Structure 1
Amino acid sequence: MITIKNVTKEYAGKTAVKNLDLVVPDGKIFGFLGPNGAGKSTTIKMITGILPIDEGTITVNGYDIASQSIEAKKLFGYVPDSPDIFLRLKGIEYLNFIGDIFDIPKDIRKEKIENLTKSFGIYEALDNHIQTYSHGMRQKIVVSGVLLHDPDVWILDEPLSGLDPKSSYTLKEMMREHAAKGNTVFFSTHVLEVVEQLCDEVAIINKGKLQFRGNMKEMKEQFEADETLEKVFLELTSNE
Structure 2
Amino acid sequence: MIELSGLTKRYGRIMAVDNLNLKVEEGEVFGFIGPNGAGKTTTIRMMGGLIAPTSGSVVINGIDMLKDPEQGKQDIGFIPDRPYLYGKLTGMEFLRFTADLYGMNNNGFFDKAESILRTFSLWDWAGELIDSYSHGMRQRLIMSAALIHDPKVLIVDEPMVGLDPRAIRLVKDMIKRLAREGMTVFVSTHTLEVAQDICHRVGVIHKGKVIATGTTKDLVEQARVDREDLEAVFLRLTEEAS
3-state SS of 1:56 partner: strand
The percentage of counterpart residues that share the same residue type is 41
Question: Residue by residue, what CA displacement relative to the aligned partner does 1:115-147 show, whole Å, maximum 9, x if unpaired?
Answer: 111121211222222222111011011000011
Which residue does 2:126 correspond to in 1?
126
Shift in Å at residue 17 of structure 1? 0.5
Question: Residue by residue, what CA displacement relative to the aligned partner does 1:67-113 show, whole Å, maximum 9, x if unpaired?
Answer: 11111100010011023322332212111001112233324111111
**1:72 has 2:99 as partner:** no
The root-mean-square deviation of aligned C-alpha atoms, in Å, is: 1.4
3-state SS of 1:106 partner: coil
Which residue does 1:190 correspond to in 2?
190
Letter in 1 for 2:218: E
Q: 5+ residue gaps in structure 1?
A: none
Change (3 A) 1:227 1:197: closer
Shift in Å at residue 227 of structure 1? 5.3
Which residue does 2:202 correspond to in 1?
202
Which residue does 1:221 correspond to in 2?
221
Structure 1 distance, partners of 2:179, 2:157, is: 17
TM-score (norm. length: structure 1): 0.95
Contact conserved, 1:84 with 1:138, CA < 8 A, in 2? no
Which residue does 1:164 correspond to in 2?
164
3-state SS of 2:174 partner: helix
Letter in 2 for 1:16: A
Question: Residue by residue, what CA displacement relative to the aligned partner does 1:216-236 show, whole Å, maximum 9, x if unpaired?
Answer: 111111213325211110111
3-state SS of 1:212 partner: strand
Letter in 1 for 2:16: A
Which residue does 1:7 correspond to in 2?
7
3-state SS of 2:108 partner: helix
93-102 vs 160-169, which moves further: 160-169
Which residue does 2:235 correspond to in 1?
234
Contact conserved, 1:83 with 1:135, CA < 8 A, in 2? no
Letter in 1 for 2:88: R
Question: Residue by residue, what CA displacement relative to the aligned partner does 1:1-41 show, whole Å, maximum 9, x if unpaired?
Answer: 11100111011321100111111111211100011100000
Which residue does 2:23 correspond to in 1?
23
3-state SS of 1:35 partner: coil
Which residue does 2:51 correspond to in 1?
51
Q: 5+ residue gaps in structure 2?
A: none
Shift in Å at residue 167 of structure 1? 2.5
Question: Residue by residue, what CA displacement relative to the aligned partner does 1:137-185 show, whole Å, maximum 9, x if unpaired?
Answer: 1101100001111101000111122222232222222211221123211
Count of paired positions = 240
Which residue does 2:105 correspond to in 1?
105
Letter in 2 for 1:209: K
Letter in 1 for 2:233: V
Letter in 1 for 2:226: A
3-state SS of 1:187 partner: strand
